[in-house]
Amino acid sequence: MSEYWQRVSARRISRRQALRAGAAGLGAGALALAGCGGGGGGQETTPIAEGTPQPGGTLVYGLNSDPGHLDEQEGVTNYWCSSQFNGFLHFINTGTQEMILNMADKFEQPDHQTYTWTLMPGIKFHNVDPVNGRVVTAEDVVYSMTRRRDDPVSQNDKQFLRDFTAGFEAVDAQTFKLTTNQPYRPAIDELGNGSYPIVPHEAVEKFGDLKDHPVGCGPFILTEFIRAQSVRSHKNPDYFIAGRPYLDNIEWEIITDQSSLLTAFETGKHDYTTANMDKVKIERLQTLPHVVCLEVPTFWRHTLLLRVDQAPFTDRRTWEAIDLTVDRPDLIEKMAFGEGQYTGPVPSSLTQYTLPQDELRDFYKVDVEKAKQLLSAAGFPDGLTFDGYVENVTDMLKFATVVKEQLAKVNINMNIIPKELGTYLAQNLYGRNFQGTMYYNLPYVEPDRPLTAYYSKGQAGFSFSGYSNPEIDAWIEKERVEFDTEKRLQIILDAQRAMLKEHGPQINTYIPTAWAVFKDWVHGVEAARNVGAWGYLQIHDWVTPKP
């Protein structure tokens, strides 16, 4: 019997056991995973206050990116706001890979293809129209899974529910059962990510979607949503975790200009900021009163993706030329003042699954002359030109600019085309309307998802890049059915080595150090490391009066 199987089948996981695994003390710092790059060190200017959490108060976040809307099933960038309105079966602790139960009171896995969650009794949807506080049942879980799988607008990955799920059902009012059509090791991790909220059918039927009406059973209820400006919420008095949340209100102020966002934090308008950070900014912030700078891991990484099934990248030698020209140390120095790590197909923050830094450094050597030779052999002796789409935010534009300068050394001209996030995702990335694109590779909590950037069926049921390689597919399919932890780890490491040698379609670059930056009257942040999607719920945050 595998180590995984012994761990899962030897016991059933109760809510109390799961909460002990990682829930205590989580809070606002997890939001840094979505926005704060760069920096180094980890020094805190002011000790995080100890003491008993006090109920009440308002917490104001400064967001560096517009969430666009609040329907968590239809978006991929709005979790830090929309999660507050929703409940989930469970989450995954990214550091330990342990399950943290949320709405479920019990989880059982009797075999490799059967998963059962028993809901806590008496969970209620928000006491707002059209559900008016009705009790959540397992049928709501069935509805939510069905909507996530079948909604044509959703930008979330549907591959698990469509290709690997044999079926799901409400066994009774409290019990939800899902079966897979084959052993599938990533199933628990997949269902633990933030795109699986439990939502009521009445709200979707009345409003058409939940973009402006995020009705759920989460710790906060929407008060006001002004697109591209602010999101305001108030405490759900009927939340199913007793005594939580502590806060009366959470507000998110959206300011995409990084300088203005940071100024709002420094002048006390925001209690927490997601302004892009680097070493210089952190060193200055550490000199200011009432500012805490807490180093946290990040799973967001800067990536260049090529569309390899159309010109000019149909010849694999063009991929290798670009991979040999991208200068990772230069990027780390210019983007993060030298504070960052190389990253391969699996982000380096997933430490148990990533390739060693020394191995990545040895592989990612810059070789301009060889790159020119490869381009010439591929039919581009004078270089080539392509369009590079990028989200219109300061950090990604800077990243694109540095990459453009590097590629110019081998006569590759990348036309940088900025797009607002919603348009970029719908029309370019998911619409596959690009020759090249630079983006933050999403912060998945386990290795299967990032590996599928190389899979012929991709991360969303199709390949963004058009890449298809039966050998690489076989590696991914092999790790998916291996339940022995050590054997699966070796498969994942070997798979990444095979992917590196492809030199594309995904050009992996670097991953920065990240920071949670907040005022010292905000508490509950200190255990924000490695908490996965659970950290998006600010139910552990509390505030003391400002000085």
Tens of pLDDT, residue by residue over 278-331, are: 889 999 999 999 999 988 777 778 999 999 999 999 999 999 999 999 999 999
Classify residue 384 by its DSSP letter. Answer: E
Domain covering 301-512 assigned CATH 3.10.105.10 in the classification:
yes
Contacts of 174 (CB under 8 A, 6+ apart): 118, 119, 121, 137, 138
pLDDT score, position 26: 33
Q: What is the pLDDT of residues 199-238, one digit of tens each?
A: 999 999 999 999 999 999 999 999 999 999 999 999 999 9
Task: Look up residue 91 and give its two tokens.
Answer: 């989450």
pLDDT value for 86: 96
pLDDT at residue 478, as a whole number: 96
Backbone angles phi, psi at 22, to 5 degrees: -175, 10
Compare 72 and 526 and report the one with higher pLDDT.
Answer: 72
> Which CATH code for domain 3-295+514-543?
3.40.190.10
Residue 7 has a pLDDT of 40
Is residue 78 helix, strand or coil? coil
Q: Tell me, what's the pLDDT at 250?
A: 96
Under the banding of pLDDT at 50, 70 and 90, the label for residue 527 is: low
pTM: 0.84
Strand order in the sheet with 506-512: 340-342, 506-512, 301-306, 436-441, 384-391, 412-419
Considering only residues 409 and 394, tell me which one the structure prediction assigns the higher pLDDT.
Answer: 409
CA distances from 98 to 88, 153, 291, 322 (A): 15, 31, 32, 38
Domain ranges of the chain: 3-295+514-543, 301-512
Q: What is the pLDDT of residues 420-453, one digit of tens each?
A: 887 888 899 888 999 999 988 766 778 898 898 8
CA 19, chain centre distance (Å): 22
**Residue 107 backbone dihedrals phi, psi, to 5 degrees:** -130, 140
Q: In this structure, what is the dihedral angle of CA atoms 297, 303, 309, 314, given to the nearest 10 degrees?
A: -130
Maximum C-alpha span of the chain: 69
For residue 98, the model assigns a pLDDT of: 82
Residue type, position 228, single letter: A
**Better-scored residue on pLDDT, 144 or 19:** 144
User: What percent of the chain clears pLDDT 70, i.e. is strictly above it?
Assistant: 88
The C-alpha atoms of residue 543 and residue 482 are separated, in whole angstroms, by: 45
Q: Is the pLDDT of residue 42 over 80?
A: no
Taking the C-alpha atoms of residue 258 and residue 278, their distance in angstroms, rounded to an integer, is 12
AA letter at 444: Y
